[in-house]
Amino acid sequence: MAIAHAGASDAPKAPEKKSKKFAYLLLAPGLLWLLIFFAFPLINLAETSTKTPAPTFETGEFVQTFRFMNFLEAFLDNQEQFYRSFFYALLATLLALAIAYPLAYAMAFRAGAWKNFLLILVIAPFFTSFLLRTLAWKQILGAEGPVVSALQTVGLMAPEGTITATAFSVIMGLTYNFLPFMTLPIYASLDRIDYRLLEASGDLYANGATTFRKVTLPLSMPGVVAGTLLTFIPASGDYINAQLLGNPDNYMIGNVINSRFFRVVDYPTAASLSFLLMASILVIVVIYIRRAGTDELV
């Protein structure tokens, strides 16, 4: 009897303990992965960022001197690329939003049986590599490509004009490449909206446009916020589009970091720039989320 009683009182506790252990077990692979492939490199990068060239002036040799001026110098030397990165990323984000929102809306509310087909079309670009798709655009928009020759034939473009190697093509490339990241979260949040809420809005004297403004749009804001972040953050750090579709005048901060690391072999500056990029994105994102008030939008 006593044993049975003890067993009974222990019983409710046991599953709780077990489920907690189980939760850690589920977290473990992810945490381990982050530790090895994110935390360690980040520490390494932090360490590199305050180093100075070794007294021997041998290429690739640096010593730790805790020189925090590296950050200021890195910023001052590359201000232009910093601003350009955020400007291009912002334009690409706005363009992607303008294209993705109507698309997601149509998919969620109007597509009917075509919904899944459209969804596959949105995801389809992921079947080929990012680099390959951008290279394809370089071909399409290039001087020998169909777009330029067509425009030149109808006289809309000067014979010596180009589309590649311009800010336009870089922003277009960024927009194109990150469009699915904008579309999918917006689609997900629109698709989740209970259709009866829209009926209720109509019932309460709101016409189509007002219903969109007062009900649909606010309820889709979590998707818009997620989509803009998923577009803006990778776009500001991107260098492939500027490298393949732009010219050095369109280079973004990613291009500078790339060349500092691999061409100039100036690890401390590259590391400082990486940190500055991360920090500024973090600041922008925090301000943005505060302003968008995502906690108000649950």
Residue 207: CB minimum distance to another protein, A: 5
Stretch that binds another protein, among 11-19, 20-28, 211-219, 282-290 (CB under 8 A): 211-219
**Shortest reach from residue 291's CB to another protein, in Å:** 17
Q: What's the rounded Cα separation, in Å, for the pair 256 and 276?
A: 13
Contacts of 219 (CB under 8 A, 6+ apart): 189, 193, 197, 297
192 binds another protein (CB under 8 A): no
Query: H or E segment at 168?
Result: helix 167-191
Residues of this chain, 214-233, that bind another protein according to CB under 8 A: 214-215, 218-219
Identity at 98, one-letter amino acid code: A
First to last CA, the chain: 51
Q: Are 235 and 253 in contact (CB under 8 A)?
A: no
Among 156, 194, 248, 291, binds another protein (CB under 8 A): 194
Distance of closest approach, residue 296 Cβ to another protein, in angstroms: 7
Instruction: Kindly determine how many residues on this chain lie close enough to bind another protein according to the rule CB under 8 A.
Output: 20
Q: Does 203 bind another protein (CB under 8 A)?
A: yes
CB of 210 to another protein, least distance (A): 6
| Sign of the torsion formed by the C-alpha atoms of 68, 71, 74 and 76 | negative
Q: How far apart are CA 44 and CA 28, in angstroms?
A: 23
Pair type for strands 62-64 and 51-53 = antiparallel
Beta carbon nearer to another protein, 25 or 298: 298
Interaction between residue 293 and another protein (CB under 8 A):
no
Nearer CB in complex with another protein: 211/236: 211
Contact between 204 and another protein per CB under 8 A: yes
Q: CB–CB of 206/215 below 8 Å? A: yes
267, 271, 272, 276: which is closest to 53 by C-alpha?
Answer: 267
Is residue 84 classed exposed, middle or buried when 0-12, 13-18 and 19+ CB atoms within 10 A define those classes?
Answer: buried
Out of 210, 283, 289, 290, name the contact with another protein by CB under 8 A.
210
- Using CB under 8 A as the binding rule, whether residue 200 contacts another protein is answered as yes
206 in contact with another protein (CB under 8 A): yes
The reply on whether position 56 binds another protein by CB under 8 A is no
Q: How many angstroms separate the most distant Cα atoms in the chain? A: 98
User: Residue from 61, 77, 80, 199 that binds another protein (CB under 8 A)?
Assistant: 199
Among 197, 282, 283, 289, binds another protein (CB under 8 A): 197
Concatenating the DSSP letter of every residue in 258-285 gives HHHHHTS--HHHHHHHHHHHHHHHHHHH
Residues 122-161 as x/- pattern, contact with another protein by CB under 8 A = ----------------------------------------
Which member of 201, 250, 255, 272 binds another protein (CB under 8 A)?
A: 201
8 Å CB contact between 220 and 257: no
Q: Which is nearer to another protein, 9 or 207 (CB)?
A: 207
Contacting residues toward another protein, per CB under 8 A: 194, 196-197, 199-207, 210, 214-215, 218-219, 296-298
